[in-house]
Amino acid sequence: MILQDKVSLVTGGTAGIGQATALAYPYGEASYAQRSVGAASRREGKLNEVIAFGAAGAKVVFSGRRDAEGEKTAKLIRETGAECLYVHSDALNEEEIKALVQKTVVSYERLDCAFNNVGNEGLLKPLHEQSIEEFDKLMEIGYEIQQMLSQESGVIVNNSSLAGLFGLPGGSPYSASKHAVMRLTRSAALDYAKQGIRINAVNPGNIATEGLNRVFEKLGVTADAVTAMVPMGRIAQAEEVAQVVVFLCSDAASYITGQSLVIDGGYTAN
């Protein structure tokens, strides 16, 4: 099991990529065939196919503001026999993030890996309509490193976006913040590499989450038009990003740090 007994933290874990990662953490390894079957089933909307990933692995702490979804996700994790803890927390509130990390350590005595998963589609509007407060909120302040330094080990994965790689009409602050996540990831990886802490990022393309259609509407595009530009001919499922996060948190990625992995079905290969 790829994350057996690891204590894992996910912020923004009640929906989308964060929820998929919270679900994926306990399952650890899966054969290529299992993942392929699971992915095909998920494309049919069968979230519980994640159970096919196998035996329980990580102990999962995840946060969010949607308590009903949080408890539902926690129930799915516990049904596999894995340990988990859902904490109501606003990932854009520094004090609540600090308390979340503290609760994780109090509950499980350590923190092995963290997925910082916060997005804000509200930033998709012209720059002159933005407030400084809105822009600042997207800049997460993490307390995971303080705990990991005391352990002399740990892994952090930050959620960036393809928007961090190029401009996005109507999304100047969003694109800038996601680029900042990439630069922060690279610089922090250099700062803490010798302390046994690895820090990476993921750059997902268009992922089938609740907010995607709202984003398309704001940008004035259709799902069909976007899909036509993806070489693989489809929009990704959140679980496909989650599995990359799990890999980066595992010992299989023990020599990877300071990197931003693009997950886009070949879009940026054009």
The catalytic residues are 174
Burial class (CB within 10 angstroms; exposed 0-12, middle 13-18, buried 19+) of 52: middle
Q: How far apart are CA 5 and CA 25, in angstroms?
A: 10
Burial class (CB within 10 angstroms; exposed 0-12, middle 13-18, buried 19+) of 17: buried
With a CB cutoff of 8 Å and minimum separation 6, the contacts of 147 are 101, 105, 110, 111, 154
CB-based contact 2:28 (threshold 8 Å):
yes
Assigned token pair, 232: 């693989």
Q: How far apart are CA 26 and CA 52, in angstroms?
A: 11
